[in-house]
């Protein structure tokens, strides 16, 4: 096996608004044994699906990815790993590697969906050296605020005002804090929105 086909394990290190495409988000994957980052542009729906699972928030009704996980479990299939296995014309391709009745089964997937599933099954995410070579970026400044472990700032002052905001404003605010990777704040806003919807 050539070096370019070596599997490299990645972690989700950040979720942020895409700088280049205003309605999209970027999920940033980082190699576990190195400094390269792999930014992948995904839609808002998938970004929310990833954020919800990362924060262990439980939506009132299962999201699409929760449904898929539940269906897999009912049919006794387990997601073992996700592999981002190709990059063509700027589009990342992925496969879900599943175990069913002792047999490995591969399922073709959009990368954003694969990541939303990986978070739900808590399974490893891999890619190949040739993909990191082509699309990876090296972070010179690891203190950049884009990193997931950036200090939480200015969230205390905002918390009190949630109760006075309209649902529209709350929803906009939710987008903003997800973009800033402030998932704690996102959870509070989500709770407030859910509280309102139960009152209606």
Structurally, the chain folds into a number of domains equal to 2
Does residue 58 sit in the same domain as residue 87? yes
pLDDT category at 200 given cuts 50, 70, 90 is: low
Specify if 145 maps to a domain.
Answer: no
Instruction: Give the domain CATH number at 45.
Output: 3.10.690.10
Q: Is 122 a member of any domain? A: yes
50 and 126 housed in the same domain = yes
Beta bridge mates, 125:
10, 82
Of 157 and 39, the structure prediction assigns the larger pLDDT to 39
Last residue of a domain, one of 139, 162, 190: 139
Q: Is residue 20 part of a domain?
A: yes
Residues 191 and 94 in one domain: no
Query: CA 127 to CA 122: how far, in whole Å?
Result: 16
Element (H, E) at 84: strand 77-88
How many CA within 13 A on the CB side of residue 172?
5
Same domain, 78 and 160: no
Statement: residue 142 has pLDDT above 70: no
Whole-angstrom distance, CA of residue 144 vs CA of residue 87? 26
Residues 79-130: pLDDT tens digits?
Answer: 999 999 999 999 999 999 999 999 999 999 999 999 999 999 999 999 999 9
Residues 6+ apart with CB under 8 A from 42: 24, 25, 26, 27, 50, 111, 112, 115
Final residue before a domain boundary, out of 86, 112, 139 = 139
Q: Is residue 177 part of a domain?
A: yes
Picking from 149, 131, 178, 185, the residue whose alpha carbon sits closest to that of residue 27 is: 178
Where is the domain boundary, 88, 116, 139? 139
pLDDT in tens, 164-177: 767 777 677 777 77
Q: Is residue 146 part of a domain?
A: no
The number of angstroms, rounded, from the C-alpha of 132 to the middle of its chain's C-alpha atoms is 18
Q: Residue 125: name the closest of 29, 3, 21, 9 by CA.
A: 9
Say which DSSP state 13 is in.
E
Please give the residue range of the domain that contains residue 184.
154-200
Is 197 within a domain? yes
Full-model pTM: 0.68
| Judgement on whether residues 33 and 125 belong to the same structural domain of the protein | yes
Q: Over range 167-194, report the average pLDDT.
A: 71
Exposed/middle/buried for residue 12 (C-beta within 10 Å: 0-12, 13-18, 19+): middle
**160 and 107 assigned to the same domain:** no
Asked if the structure places residue 147 within a domain, the reply is no
- Give yes or no: residues 46 and 16 share one domain: yes
Distance CA 109, CA 83 (A): 10
Do residue 161 and residue 114 come from a single domain? no
First to last CA, the chain: 59
Q: Is residue 144 part of a domain?
A: no
pLDDT at 147: 46
């Amino acid at each position: 096996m050539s070096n370019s086909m070596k599997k490299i394990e990645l972690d989700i290190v950040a979720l942020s608004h895409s700088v280049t495409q205003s309605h999209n988000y970027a999920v940033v994957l980082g190699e576990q044994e190195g400094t390269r980052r792999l930014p992948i542009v995904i839609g808002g729906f998938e970004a929310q699906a990833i954020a919800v699972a990362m924060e262990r928030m439980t939506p009132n009704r299962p999201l699409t990815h929760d449904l898929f996980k539940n269906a897999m479990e009912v049919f006794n299939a387990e997601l073992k790993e996700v592999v981002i296995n190709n990059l063509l014309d700027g589009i990342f391709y992925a496969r879900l590697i599943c175990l069913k009745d002792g047999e490995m089964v591969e399922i073709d997937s959009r990368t954003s969906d694969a990541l939303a599933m990986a978070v739900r099954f808590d399974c490893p995410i891999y890619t190949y050296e040739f993909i990191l070579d082509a699309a990876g970026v090296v972070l010179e400044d690891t203190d950049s605020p884009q990193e997931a472990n950036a200090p939480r700032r200015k969230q205390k002052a905002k918390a009190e005002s949630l109760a006075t905001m309209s649902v529209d404003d709350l929803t906009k605010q939710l987008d903003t804090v997800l973009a800033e990777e402030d998932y704690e704040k996102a959870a509070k806003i989500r709770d407030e929105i859910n509280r309102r919807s139960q009152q209606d």
